[in-house]
């Protein structure tokens, strides 16, 4: 059954961090001309009504859509509590992906207070790098600070969130610590999503700020050992029996998602336009498709949207390793529900 299963929302491109591997919040040479300058992007963000009306449209298309609320840093949107309360009231499945740093603490606490109920899902980006650094926030880089504070705060979030998740980004120099980090998170009752660093293969890969292929993680005996230890243990790694073999097959960055053939995964940019995918913005999709015209009167994806996806896929995609497409394809192929995307109390 061909339905959109996962929706990736870039609710904002604003962020309190400038992590070395992320281009979402940065201007950069060769940036597609259709973009407004990032410094002006706030003026072009979706309104609260835009987001809620979009959520309504996706629910009419597929009540079981799973929504991933990204940024930038989504907590910087003052209306996030309104969006979350709407999702809770309408039984819309979601997780918030935050950098969960010290600067965001007050916004998280305000969100918890304003929502007046448990948040369904909260995910913080945690890298294995923090094993190798002292806790000196004046000398270490943003992604390390993010991991240090994110790990500590996730343990506290269990009191307010049903599904607490660490999104682990593996790089070549820190793959040796992957199992150790997953095991530590499991001991703290925190579930893990495993992703691998990707690169910008052309200017339209605007989710990544890395262009050096030598930084990518390749299959190796060391990585095989890490995967085997995770598989053999009771580590809480999301869909590990499905994802780990697929990740191995697509490393270092060779996945063809075939989204042009089967549109089960959609990405919404901060201005409400539809992207080719979370990794690639493209030009045809955001120029012609937005939240208002992605569906027809029967709540099905329009042929225009399918056509634009096909054009941008052909023109700009040079493959990637975005595991989100593996998840949505698995759910679509097996016609299962959103429970496969909820990590809570799952060990498979």
CATH topology of domain 6-341: TIM Barrel (3.20.20)
CA 311, distance to chain mean position in Å, is 24
Between CA 346 and CA 348 the distance in angstroms is 6
Residue 123 three-state SS = strand
The pTM (predicted TM-score) of the whole model is: 0.89
Report pLDDT for 148.
66
Spell out the domain ranges in the chain: 6-341
Report pLDDT for 143.
58
User: What is the block-wise mean pLDDT of the chain (348 residues), using blocks of 10 residues?
Assistant: 89 83 64 45 80 98 96 93 97 93 89 93 80 50 64 84 90 88 89 91 86 90 96 91 94 95 95 94 93 96 97 96 91 76 49
Distances (CA, A) of 261 to 23, 116, 265, 281, 308: 28, 42, 11, 18, 12
Q: Are 10 and 23 in contact (CB under 8 A)?
A: no
Report pLDDT for 299.
96
Report pLDDT for 39.
41
Query: Which residue stretches of the chain are H helix?
Result: 48-61, 80-89, 105-115, 142-157, 178-187, 221-232, 240-250, 284-288, 303-316, 323-334
């Amino acid at each position: 059954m061909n339905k959109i299963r996962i929706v990736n929302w870039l609710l904002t491109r604003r962020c309190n961090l400038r992590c070395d591997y992320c281009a979402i919040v940065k201007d950069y040479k060769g940036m597609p001309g259709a973009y407004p300058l990032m410094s002006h992007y706030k003026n072009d963000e979706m309104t609260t009504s835009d987001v809620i009306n979009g959520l309504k449209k996706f629910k009419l298309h597929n009540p079981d859509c799973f929504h991933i609320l990204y940024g930038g840093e989504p907590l910087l949107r003052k209306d996030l509590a309104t969006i979350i309360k709407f999702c809770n009231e309408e039984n819309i499945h979601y997780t918030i992906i935050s950098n969960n740093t010290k600067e965001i603490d007050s916004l998280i606490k305000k969100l918890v207070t304003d929502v007046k109920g448990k948040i369904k899902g909260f995910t913080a980006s945690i890298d294995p790098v923090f094993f190798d650094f002292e806790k000196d926030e004046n000398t270490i880089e943003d992604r390390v600070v993010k991991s240090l504070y994110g790990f500590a705060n996730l343990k506290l979030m269990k009191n307010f969130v049903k599904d607490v998740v660490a999104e682990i980004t593996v790089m070549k120099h820190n793959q040796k610590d992957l199992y150790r980090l997953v095991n530590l998170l499991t001991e703290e009752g925190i579930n893990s999503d495993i992703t691998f660093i990707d690169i910008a293969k052309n200017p339209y890969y605007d989710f990544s700020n890395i262009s050096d292929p030598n930084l990518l993680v390749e299959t190796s005996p060391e990585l095989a050992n890490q995967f085997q230890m995770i598989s053999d243990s009771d580590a809480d790694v999301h869909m590990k029996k499905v994802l780990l073999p697929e990740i191995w097959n697509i490393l270092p960055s060779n996945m063809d998602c075939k989204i042009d053939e089967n549109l089960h995964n959609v990405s919404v940019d901060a201005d409400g336009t539809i992207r080719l995918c979370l990794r690639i913005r493209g030009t045809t999709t955001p120029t012609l498709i937005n939240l208002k015209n992605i569906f027809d009167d029967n709540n099905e994806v329009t042929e225009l949207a399918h056509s634009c996806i096909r054009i941008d896929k052909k023109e700009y995609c040079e493959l990637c390793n975005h595991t989100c497409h593996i998840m949505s394809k698995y759910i679509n192929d097996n016609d299962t529900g959103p429970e496969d995307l909820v990590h809570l109390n799952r060990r498979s």
